[in-house]
Amino acid sequence: MKKTTGTDRSITSNWRPATRAVRAGTWRSEQGETSEALFLTSGYTYDDAATVAARFAGEAEGMTYSRLQNPTVAMCEERIASLEGAEACRMQATGMAAMTTALLCQLSAGDHVVAGRAAFGSCRWLVDTLLPKFGIETTIVDARDNSAWEAAIRPNTKVFFFETPANPTMDIADLAFICGLARAHGITSVVDNAFATAALQRPMEFGADVVAYSATKLMDGQGRVLAGAVCGSAQWINDVLLPFQRNTGPNCSPFNAWVVMKGLETLDLRAQRQSENALQVARAIEGRVPTMLHPGLPSHPQHDLATRQMDNFGPIFSFVVDGRAQAHAILDALELVDISNNIGDSKSLMCHPASTTHANMGEEGRDAMGVFEGMLRINVGLEDPLDVIEDLDQALGKAGL
- Shortest distance, position 48 Cβ to ligand PLP, whole Å: 41
- Shortest distance, position 221 Cβ to ligand PLP, whole Å: 13
226 contacts ligand PLP (rule: CB under 6 A):
yes
Q: Are 189 and 179 in contact (CB under 8 A)?
A: yes
Of 82 and 167, which CB lies nearer to ligand PLP in the complex structure? 167
Of 252 and 389, which CB lies nearer to ligand PLP in the complex structure? 252
- Shortest distance, position 291 Cβ to ligand PLP, whole Å: 21
Cross-strand partners of 338: 349
Cross-strand partners of 210: 190
55 contacts ligand PLP (rule: CB under 6 A):
no
Residue closest to ligand PLP, measured at CB:
95
Q: Are 355 and 324 in contact (CB under 8 A)?
A: yes
With a CB cutoff of 8 Å and minimum separation 6, the contacts of 207 are: 175, 176, 179, 180, 182, 183, 189
120 contacts ligand PLP (rule: CB under 6 A):
yes
Site string for ligand PLP, 73-102 (x = CB under 6 A): ---------------------xxx--x---
- Shortest distance, position 163 Cβ to ligand PLP, whole Å: 5
345 contacts ligand PLP (rule: CB under 6 A):
no
User: Which of 12, 189, 216, 256 is in the footprint of ligand PLP by CB under 6 A?
Assistant: 216
User: Which of 111, 174, 192, 391 is in the footprint of ligand PLP by CB under 6 A?
Assistant: 192
CA distance 373 to 64: 51
163 contacts ligand PLP (rule: CB under 6 A):
yes
- Shortest distance, position 214 Cβ to ligand PLP, whole Å: 3
319 contacts ligand PLP (rule: CB under 6 A):
no
Instruction: Give the count of residues interacting with ligand PLP (CB under 6 A).
Output: 17
- Shortest distance, position 285 Cβ to ligand PLP, whole Å: 23
Of 166 and 392, which CB lies nearer to ligand PLP in the complex structure? 166
Q: Which residues bind ligand PLP (CB under 6 A)?
A: 94-96, 99, 120, 123, 163, 167, 192, 194-195, 214, 216-217, 226, 228, 343
